[in-house]
Amino acid sequence: MAEHSHDHAASGHDDAPDHDHGHDHTHDHGSAPAKLTRNQTLVYGALSRAGGPLTAYTILDQLRDDGFRAPLQVYRALEKLVEFGMVHRLESLNAFVACSHPQCVDHETMAFAICEACGSVSEFADAAITRQLKGWAGNNGFALAKTTIELRGTCRSCQAAV
Ligand SMILES: [Zn+2]
Ligand SMILES: [Zn+2]
């Protein structure tokens, strides 16, 4: 009988939805992806299909049938894709990964949790971390351009598999 589990309004939490945040803070500065060259499209396609990080050489191997011959072709395309915010470079792996939220060009702070067992990468953004790092930079007169955080460890499914 006491089956209604929706007893919000029970406690005096005053977070009523009168905030009117709506959803109109669209990041419309880049919703349409930049116009890509053929090589950029192919490289981005390889990274998207991979669903995880790839080195430039792996990308080159995958794209040989598409006419890629030299690492420089891959690097040039990657450089642009990184610039567009569609691809991120993972320094600790010397590899590249497709952005998991490419429609959002706000990449001030990027964080990646990298599983050392299966190689999966989860990209996340955390406002509290961003705020703290910006605070430190401000207090120390450091002109912060961007932040990349790489966490190394074991993902949930690999821990479960042990
Ligand atoms: Zn991203
Ligand atoms: Zn894993």
DSSP for 100-122, written as a single string: S-TT----SEEEEEEETTT--EE
So what's the pLDDT on residue 147?
A: 87
Q: Report CA(28)–ligand 2 centroid distance (Å).
A: 34
Domains of the chain by range and CATH? 38-161 (1.10.10.10)
Do 124 and 110 form a contact (C-beta atoms < 8 A)? no
Do 158 and 118 form a contact (C-beta atoms < 8 A)? yes
Ligand with the closest atom to the CA of 161: 2
Q: Report CA(66)–ligand 1 centroid distance (Å).
A: 26
What pTM did the predictor assign?
Answer: 0.71
Residue that the structure tokens 């390889």 belong to: 46
Q: Report CA(106)–ligand 1 centroid distance (Å).
A: 8
d(C-alpha 116, C-alpha 111), whole Å:
16
Do 78 and 44 form a contact (C-beta atoms < 8 A)? no
So what's the pLDDT on residue 5?
A: 46
So what's the pLDDT on residue 110?
A: 86
So what's the pLDDT on residue 104?
A: 58
Percent of the chain having pLDDT more than 90? 58
Give the residues of the chain that fall short of pLDDT 70: 1-34, 102-106
So what's the pLDDT on residue 26?
A: 40
So what's the pLDDT on residue 42?
A: 97
So what's the pLDDT on residue 161?
A: 83
Q: Report CA(17)–ligand 2 centroid distance (Å).
A: 38
